[in-house]
Amino acid sequence: MSVSSGSHSRQGRARAPQRPSLRALHRAYDDVLGGTRSSRDLRSVVSASWGRSLRARVDPEGSAPPLVYDPDELREVRSGHPLAAVVPTLRRVLDAAVDASAQLLIVTDADGRILWREGAAPVRGAADRVLLTEGTQWREDTIGTNAMGTALATGRPVQIYAAEHLVRAYHTWTCAACPITDPDTGRLLGTVDVSGQQDSVHPAMVQLVSAASELAEKELRLRMMAADQRLRERRLPELRRLGGQPGALLSGSGRVVATHRRDDCPVALPDRVDTTGDGRVDLGGGVHGTLEPLTEGWLLRLPRPRARSSSNPSKSGRRPVSQAAAAPPSPRTLALRLLGPNAPAVRLGGRCVPVSLRHAEILALLALHPEGRTAEQLALGLYGEDGNPTTVRVEVHRLRAQLGQRVLLPRPYRLAAVPDCDLLWVRDRLAAGDVRAALAAYRGELLGRSEAPGVRTVRDEVAATLRTSVLELGDSELLWQLACRDLGREDAQVLEALVASLPRTSPRRASALERLRALLASDG
C-alpha cells in the first residue's frame, strides 16, 4: 500500500513581506510603467508578475476581470469541486480575522475563477464596484498582478499591496493568497485569499492564509486516506481472489492503495498507474497489466510470474523473488525500526548502526520507494519545495559510507534489498486487512521528531488508517489497546466507541468513561 501526496511544506515561505510605503509604491508604479525607472525598485515577486502580465497584453489602465460563470453555472461548478469539502474549514480559520478587519474571504479554482466570496455587506459592495465577484477570473494574464493570480503562477503564498497591482483600479486594495494543492495528485486545486481595502489588511495576513491552506490540505489528505480505507475494506476480497496472480487496488486517480503478491510482479510496480488508456497499462520492460473499473477505483491485474525452474535458475538471468524470500537471511540484512519513542534504530547484519534523524528520514523514504528516489525527489520529501538536491547528495554520501555502497545504491538512490522494516510491516498488514497484527506491531508514530514533509505525510497516513480500521471493526479488545496508546489515549471518538462496546459491569468501561468525561470537561 502506498500513498502519494502532493502536499508540500510551506515552512519558511509564508513570512510577512516588508511593507513598502504607499507613496513610494505609487511613484514606482508611475515611473516603471512610464519607462523612467527600473523594475528593480519593486519586490522581485511583483516585478516578475508585472512582466508576465504585460507580456500577456494586460492594460494597466483599462483591464477588467472576465465573467466566466453565471449564477446557475457557478452553483453546479461549486457542487462538484474538490474544495467544496474544505470551505467550512477555511471559514472556521479565517472568519474571525475577516470580520474583524472588514475583509473578504475568497476561494478560487486552479484557473483563478472565484467560486466562493464571503464578507460583510459594505466590503462586498466595494468589491462589486471593481468586479471582485463570484464567477470572474483572476489569472495574471486576464487581470494582471493580484494575489490570487500570482499565487497560482508561482505556487507560493503571496501578498500584493495597493499599487503593486498592475491594474490601477485595484490600487486601493490589498490581498493575500495561498495555493491549495491536491494531496492525491499534487495538482493545484485553487487558492484561498483574503482581500480588503489597503488600510484594513495586516501584513501578517499572508501567514494566516498559508495556515488555512495547510489545514485544508490536511483535511483533504485525511479524506483521501479514509476513502482508501473504504476501498480496501470493500474490495480486498476481489484482490485476494486473484490467487497466484499479482494485482493491485487503485484509487480513482490511479494511486496504488493495496497490492496482492507484489513481489511476484515481473517489474517494479509504480506508486501511481495511468488509468486514462483503453484498459491496458504499460508497466515498462514489455510488461502490461489490465484494468477493471470499480465503483470506487480500479482493480489492476498483473501478469502471472513465469514458471520457475529448479534445475538451472541462472538461465532466466533473474533469481525469483519468492526464492530469495525463502532463503536464510543474509548476514548483511538491513533492519529499520522507525516507529515509536525509541526510533530510529538501524541494524546491519546484526550490528547496530547509529544514525542521525536526517539519515533515518532518508532510509524511511527509500524503504517506502523500493524503485528508488532521485536527489530532487529526496529533497522534496525531506525539505519541501525549498530543498536543495546538493545537500541531499552530501547526506546520502555520508549514509552510504556508514552502511556500505552495496547496501545503498546510486542512480537513483535505492536500497539493494527490501529491508526488515516495522513501518512497511504495519502498512502491509493494514493493506491485507489484518488490523489486529498491525495494531500489535504499531509501537508509536513514525519518527515523531521529524518535520520532513514526506515523513509527516506517511506518519499521518498510517496513524489515521490504523485508527479508522480499529474504529470500524468495533472490537472491544482492539479499542482498549488503542485507547491505551498515544494514538487513542485522548481521542474522544475512540473512548466513546470503547464505552459503547463494553458491558456496563466491565472495569475497563468504567475507566474509559472516566477518561472520556475528563477529556470532555477539559475541552469545555
Q: What digits encode the pLDDT tens for the residues 94-108?
A: 988 887 778 999 999
In this predicted model, what pLDDT tens digit does every residue of 168-182 receive, in sequence order? 999 999 999 999 999
Q: For residue 69, which amino acid is it?
A: Y
Per-residue pLDDT, 11: 41
Cβ-in-10-Å burial (0-12, 13-18, 19+) of 197 comes to middle
Beta strands in 129-237 (DSSP E): 158-160, 173-181, 188-197
Average pLDDT (484-511) is: 89
446 or 519: which leads in pLDDT: 446
Could you identify the residue written with the cell 501526496?
Answer: 5
Per-residue pLDDT, 90: 94
Per-residue pLDDT, 266: 73
Q: Is the pLDDT of residue 2 over 50?
A: no
Residue 414's CB: how many other CB atoms inside 10 A?
Answer: 17
Q: Is the pLDDT of residue 331 over 50?
A: no
Average pLDDT (487-509) is: 89
Q: Is the pLDDT of residue 385 over 50?
A: yes
pLDDT-based confidence at residue 12 (cuts at 50, 70, 90): very low
DSSP 8-state secondary structure symbol assigned to residue 270: P
Coil, helix or strand at residue 19: coil
Per-residue pLDDT, 318: 39
Q: Which of 49-53, 213-217, 227-231, 349-353 has the lowest mean pLDDT?
A: 349-353
Mean per-residue pLDDT over the chain, rounded? 84
Residue 513's CB: how many other CB atoms inside 10 A?
Answer: 17
Q: CA-to-CA distance for 200 and 196, rounded, in angstroms?
A: 6
Average pLDDT (266-270) is: 77
Per-residue pLDDT, 323: 34
Q: CA-to-CA distance for 1 and 430, rounded, in angstroms?
A: 8
pLDDT-based confidence at residue 113 (cuts at 50, 70, 90): very high
Q: Is the pLDDT of residue 192 over 90?
A: yes
Ranges of H-type helices in 308-374: 321-326, 357-368
Q: Is the pLDDT of residue 149 over 90?
A: yes
Coil, helix or strand at residue 304: coil
Q: Is the pLDDT of residue 329 over 80?
A: no
Q: Is the pLDDT of residue 1 over 60?
A: no
Ranges of H-type helices in 355-410: 357-368, 375-383, 389-403
Q: Is the pLDDT of residue 522 over 50?
A: yes
In this predicted model, what pLDDT tens digit does every residue of 389-399 receive, in sequence order? 899 999 999 99
Coil, helix or strand at residue 247: strand
| Residues 6+ away with beta carbon under 8 Å from 484 | none
In this predicted model, what pLDDT tens digit does every residue of 449-463 receive, in sequence order? 999 999 999 999 899
- Would residue 53 be called left, alpha or beta, if left means φ above 0 and alpha means ψ between -120 and 50 degrees? alpha
> Residue 41, Cα to own-chain centre: how many angstroms?
37
In this predicted model, what pLDDT tens digit does every residue of 405-429 receive, in sequence order? 888 998 899 998 888 899 999 988 8
pLDDT-based confidence at residue 191 (cuts at 50, 70, 90): very high
Question: What cell does 188 get?
Answer: 493545484
Q: CA-to-CA distance for 417 and 467, rounded, in angstroms?
A: 30
Question: What cell does 321 get?
Answer: 523473488
| Residues 6+ away with beta carbon under 8 Å from 348 | 332, 333, 334, 335, 403, 404, 407
Cis ω before 412 (30° cut-off from 0)? yes
